[in-house]
Amino acid sequence: MNKAVLIEKAEQLHRLKKSEIAALLSDNTAGKMLAEAANRVRKRYVGDGVLLRGLIEFSSYCRCNCCYCGLRRDNGKAKRFRMSEREIIELAGQAKDYGYQTVVLQSGEDAFFSIERLGKIIEKIKELDLAVTLSIGERSFNDYKILREAGADRFLLRIETTDAALYTQLNPGMSYTERVRCLKDLRSLGYEVGTGSLVGLPGQTIDSLADDILFFQKLDADMIGIGPLVTNPDTPLDGNNCGDVGLTLRMLAVIRLLLPEANIPATTALETLEPGARIMALTGGANVIMPNVTVGEARMNYALYPGKAEVADTPQDCNSILMTELHTIGRYIENSKGFRKHRH
């Protein structure tokens, strides 16, 4: 089947076989047609509103050693910080003042933030009438349950890659089965579940990216974040190429076609590699932006990858530059808590 036929099939049926997904992902002439179809599906299912979620990066300590990430335990060059409970709650208050209705609390896997501590923080933030998303890594079913009961609404945990062998190689000491267990637990506890993958990992194949998309469909993920690998020289992946922006955008578009209702962010990693790619993502299937509300030293030191902190995604930028940009593409900022819209 040629690409036009495949794209039309995906647009109408929201289903493709693995080989068909792989054919679209590997065709670097398919980008424009895919983006246009994804843009139509985005408009039809989730509308023209762009959801803003304020990102608070509250700790750069991490017990894990993911080979791609600057916060990995063995990176002696990483500057470590931890915000106090008060600082986190204050930032959430600022996010509220900026008009956001939802915050994402993200950190390395930091045992200092016990379930009790996190629970208290979540309860305080919920008093501000904000939706709370957690992105704090792997925990037990019971921990996730307590956090959910404390008021957490959503959870982001990328599978990173569904190639289990590659996962084990790049995430020493971690287990693919355990990662999947976490996602299933989160689902069964009633969280809105976000997952996603990194594009451009060394050894990653197009076939495995196609598997990633089928995995998101099977999980019925509510949110899917796809970012290119931004090589960090302070990690074992030093010297590897960064992920391909075109491939990442094709991946994003195919995801919109196959999971039409999902909330899909235009990720910071895309914008870091190619300024302007965020708008390309928004016109090619994405409907979410996560402006970083972290300020000062914490923002500089939460260095998953180089260039991240410099991306113009502060609330101020989002209110000025982005508003104008969104206007030119016929979109607007949606004032809502941003839960998934169920249309079918």
Give the footprint of ligand SAH on this chain (CB under 6 A). 68-69, 106, 108-109, 135, 137, 157-158, 160, 198, 227, 229-230, 232, 269, 304-305
Q: Is residue 67 close enough to count as binding ligand SF4 by CB under 6 A? A: no
The region of 68-76, 88-96, 250-258, 313-321 touching ligand SF4 under the rule CB under 6 A is 68-76
Residue 100: which of ligand SF4, ligand SAH, none does it interact with, CB under 5 to 8 A by kind?
none
Between 131 and 198, whose beta carbon lies closer to ligand SAH? Answer: 198
Using the minimum distance from each CB to ligand SAH, give the nearer residue, 248 or 287: 248
Bin 190: left if φ > 0, else alpha if -120 < ψ < 50, else beta: left
Cα separation, 120 vs 230, whole angstroms:
34
> Is position 229 an interface residue for ligand SF4 (rule: CB under 6 A)?
no
Q: Tell me whether strands 154-156 and 131-135 are parallel, antiparallel or unpaired.
A: parallel
Residue with Cβ nearer ligand SAH (42 or 158): 158
Nearest to 289 by CA among 260, 257, 341, 326: 326
**Interaction partner, residue 72 (ligand SAH, ligand SF4, none; CB < 5-8 Å by kind):** ligand SF4
Q: Which is nearer to ligand SAH, 45 or 144 (CB)?
A: 144
Other CB atoms closer than 10 Å to residue 100's CB: what's the count? 27
Site map 179..198 versus ligand SF4, x via CB under 6 A: --------------------
Rule CB under 6 A: which of 107-126 touch ligand SF4? 108-109
| First vs last C-alpha separation in the chain | 28
Residue 75 CA, distance from chain mean position: 23
Residues 17, 207: Cα–Cα separation, whole Å: 11
CB-based contact 13:233 (threshold 8 Å):
no
Q: Which of residues 129-148 bind ligand SF4 (CB under 6 A)?
A: 137
229 is in the binding site of which of ligand SAH, ligand SF4, none (Cβ under 5 to 8 A by kind)? ligand SAH
Residue 194 near residue 290, CB atoms below 8 Å: no
Nearer to ligand SF4, 66 or 290 (CB): 66
How far apart (Å, rounded) are the C-alpha atoms in residues 29 and 126? 46
Which residues, in sequence order, are bridge partners of residue 334?
Answer: 51
Question: Minimal distance in Å, beta carbon 109 to ligand SF4?
Answer: 5
